[in-house]
Amino acid sequence: MSLMLVFALVFVIGAVAFFIGRQRAAAHDNGKVKPHSRAHYHGWWAFLLATLPALLLLAIWSIGSSVYLNSHINGQLPAQTAESAIASRTLAASLTKSLANGLRKLEPEAANNLPATFTELQPMLAARGVALAPDTQDYMIPIAVDANRTQDTMQLIGGVLVLALAVAGAVFGLSKIKVRARARNNVERLILWGLLGASTIAILTTVGIVLSMLFQSINFFERVPFFSFFFGTVWDPRFAAAGAGESAGQFGLIPLLAGTLYIALVAMLVAVPVGLMSAVYMAEYASPKVRAVVKPALELLAGIPTIVYGIFALVTLGPFLRDLSAALAGGTSFIQAQSILTAGLVMGVMLIPVVSSLSDDIITAVPRAMRDGSLGLGATRSETIRKVILPAALPGIVGAILLTASRAIGETMIVVLAAGVAANLTLNPFEAMTTITVKIVNQLTGDLEFNSPQTLVAFALGITLFFLTLIMNIFALYIVRKYREQYE
């Protein structure tokens, strides 16, 4: 019995329980005793009793049976595979598994008299659109057949058990229907647990992020010393050729960190003055008409995906700056097409709406009385803004700037396309530098081997990035929150 069929049948049983339950509860309501819950709550309670335990069992059974099947296959693999390296043993197991999956695609007749060798079997499978690794061995065929048979039995037993549990749940639920039964409270309690469960997903995600990166990073630091990662000044990971053993690459974080911070700095130099001034103008000067046009336009700027900015930098701005510098210097261009300046400029523009919308909220939150007081004492509007409003809003603005800076540090697509891949250490903004995010993408696209430091370093970079932004975010949120309390 396939998983989907069992799943569907459980729901059918649940639906039947719902309808019977609702009808029974309605029949109980004879007008003499006031029923505790309305009829459909009884139906829902019966539905939940029928489905939830059954689905839980289904989940446990399918996980359990796949674990059992794995050990079953492993146990049958011949001894010589067991003696060789563990990697080839797991490989043999996975080959057997994909062979077993492939055999399921065959016609029943062909499956009943299988050839004994893989060379004969392969064309039959290929005809059904199943491509298998050529190093599949002959001895795997009987194991695969046996695995399929075991799997079928396990599924049949599991399916019967699950369906029996569903029916039992439904019968139990239906038997509990009485006029004063508290069906609504039962249903609502379950819903509440569901709501709580949904809200813990945020915690689970954070835990997942931290744990997954931590494990891989620990793996990485077993191969590369902690100190030479965080304080190394050379980034040269050198991809090892397959099977050539581990070549010692150098994984120095410093050039990447420097590039990340430098590009973020250039971006902030563009975004903060421009964004802040736009926010001030929009909040204090702009007429409602101008606001109605400009605000959506700035929101549009914020809604453009970062890949589009990156491509603009790569295709238009980068070559333009290069040609411009060539024209200025008379021939040789001193700005490279991929440079800190290009990436920083474009990222800065991307961040303008972020700064402006965050600081807009903060500026408008400054109480009216402070404005009126300053204007009433004869200050001009700009003096009021510079000497009263901005100082009052300063903590909030600092928070906004920190949040923006964490966006700049974690930004990926713009720098992947516009900043270059060479890990230089330079102060010249016209040259290319690379960032942490670029290197994460570089190390993880293409073929992956989860046991080489070249792949694992991406997780060490990722956890560095995560904690860098985490500290900035928490600090920013703390400042913003503390500031808000002052006026409310």
Partner 1 sequence: MTDISMDTVAGAVPRPRRDIGLKRRYAAERRFRIYGMLAISVGLIFLAIMLFSIVSKGYTAFWQTTVSLPINFDEKILDPDNKRATDPSVLISANYPKLAENALVAKLGINPDDKVTIRKLKGFLSDGARTQLRDVVAADPSVIGTTRNVDILAAANLDSAFKGQIDLNVDEARRKVSDQQVIWMKQLTTDGSMAERFNTGLFTFGASSRPETSGMGVAIIGSFYMMVIVLLLALPIGVAASIYLEEFAKKGRLTDLIEVNINNLAAVPSIVFGLLGLSVFINFLGLPRSAAFVGGLVLTLMTLPTIIIATRAALAAVPPSIRSAALGLGASKMQMVFQHILPLAAPGILTGTIIGLARALGETAPLLLIGMVAFVANYPTTPFEPATALPVQIYMWANEAERAFVERMSGAIIILLIFLMAMNITAIVLRRRFERRW
Residues 363-402 interacting with partner 1 (rule: CB under 8 A): 380-383, 385-386
Confirm or reject binding of residue 441 to partner 1 (CB under 8 A): yes
In angstroms, what is the minimal distance from the CB of 82 to partner 1? 22
The 10 Å CB-count burial string (b at 16+, else e) for 230-248 is eebeebebeebeeeeeeee
Whole-Å CA distances, 232 to 53, 154, 302, 433: 55, 54, 37, 16
Do 313 and 346 contact (CB within 8 A), yes or no?
yes
Spatial separation of the C-alpha atoms in residues 270 and 322, rounded to whole Å: 20
Task: Identify which of residues 87 and 297 has a Cβ nearer to partner 1 in the complex.
Answer: 297
- CB-side neighbour CA atoms (13 Å) of 467: 9
Region from 57-65, 129-137, 194-202, 329-337 binding partner 1, contact rule CB under 8 A: 194-202
31: left (phi over 0), alpha (psi -120 to 50) or beta: left
Confirm or reject binding of residue 285 to partner 1 (CB under 8 A): yes
Spatial separation of the C-alpha atoms in residues 352 and 403, rounded to whole Å: 13
Nearest 10 degrees: Cα torsion 143, 148, 154, 155:
170
Among 48, 363, 440, 457, interactor with partner 1 by CB under 8 A: 440
Confirm or reject binding of residue 201 to partner 1 (CB under 8 A): yes
Among 477, 482, 486, 487, interactor with partner 1 by CB under 8 A: 477
Helices (H), 336-389: 340-364, 368-376, 381-384
Confirm or reject binding of residue 301 to partner 1 (CB under 8 A): yes
- The conformation of residue 251, written as its DSSP 8-state character, comes to E
Region from 45-53, 122-130, 326-334, 433-441 binding partner 1, contact rule CB under 8 A: 433-441
Q: Angle at CA 153, nearest 5°, toward 152 and 155?
A: 65
In angstroms, what is the minimal distance from the CB of 27 to partner 1? 23
Residues 111-140 that bind partner 1 (CB under 8 A): none
Region from 124-132, 193-201, 230-238, 423-431 binding partner 1, contact rule CB under 8 A: 193-201
Q: In a 3-state reduction of DSSP, which class is residue 337?
A: coil
In angstroms, what is the minimal distance from the CB of 201 to partner 1? 6
Among 69, 470, 475, 484, interactor with partner 1 by CB under 8 A: 470
Phi and psi dihedrals of 250, rounded to 5? -110, 130
Residues 216-245 that bind partner 1 (CB under 8 A): 216
- By 3-state DSSP, what share of the chain in percent is helix, strand and coil, each rounded to 5? 75, 0, 25
Amino acid at 34: K
Task: Identify which of residues 6 and 313 has a Cβ nearer to partner 1 in the complex.
Answer: 313
Do 477 and 395 contact (CB within 8 A), yes or no?
no
In angstroms, what is the minimal distance from the CB of 24 to partner 1? 22
Kindly state the tokens that stand for 89: 């043993």
Task: Identify which of residues 172 and 221 has a Cβ nearer to partner 1 in the complex.
Answer: 221
Confirm or reject binding of residue 45 to partner 1 (CB under 8 A): no
Residues 403-432 that bind partner 1 (CB under 8 A): 403, 406-407, 409-413, 416-417
Do 460 and 221 contact (CB within 8 A), yes or no?
yes
In angstroms, what is the minimal distance from the CB of 427 to partner 1? 25
> Which residues are CB-neighbours of 50 under 8 A, at least 6 positions away?
10, 13, 14, 17, 166, 167, 169, 170, 173
Region from 24-32, 205-213, 224-232, 327-335 binding partner 1, contact rule CB under 8 A: 205-213
Spatial separation of the C-alpha atoms in residues 348 and 275, rounded to whole Å: 9
Task: Identify which of residues 28 and 38 has a Cβ nearer to partner 1 in the complex.
Answer: 38
Q: Please report the DSSP string for 208-250 in residue order.
A: HHHHHHHHHHHHHHHHS-HHHHHS---EE--PPPTTS-----E
Task: Identify which of residues 110 and 294 has a Cβ nearer to partner 1 in the complex.
Answer: 294
Confirm or reject binding of residue 361 to partner 1 (CB under 8 A): no
Among 208, 367, 373, 391, interactor with partner 1 by CB under 8 A: 208
Task: Identify which of residues 235 and 459 has a Cβ nearer to partner 1 in the complex.
Answer: 459
Confirm or reject binding of residue 213 to partner 1 (CB under 8 A): yes
Residues 68-97 that bind partner 1 (CB under 8 A): none
Whole-Å CA distances, 100 to 69, 127, 136: 11, 16, 11
Place of tokens 């590369």: 224
Among 164, 304, 328, 394, interactor with partner 1 by CB under 8 A: 304
Confirm or reject binding of residue 280 to partner 1 (CB under 8 A): yes
Confirm or reject binding of residue 194 to partner 1 (CB under 8 A): yes
- Mark residues 322-351: x for contact with partner 1 by CB under 8 A, - for none: ---------------------------x--
Among 311, 326, 422, 425, interactor with partner 1 by CB under 8 A: 311
Among 84, 119, 205, 486, interactor with partner 1 by CB under 8 A: 205
Task: Identify which of residues 116 and 207 has a Cβ nearer to partner 1 in the complex.
Answer: 207
Confirm or reject binding of residue 43 to partner 1 (CB under 8 A): no
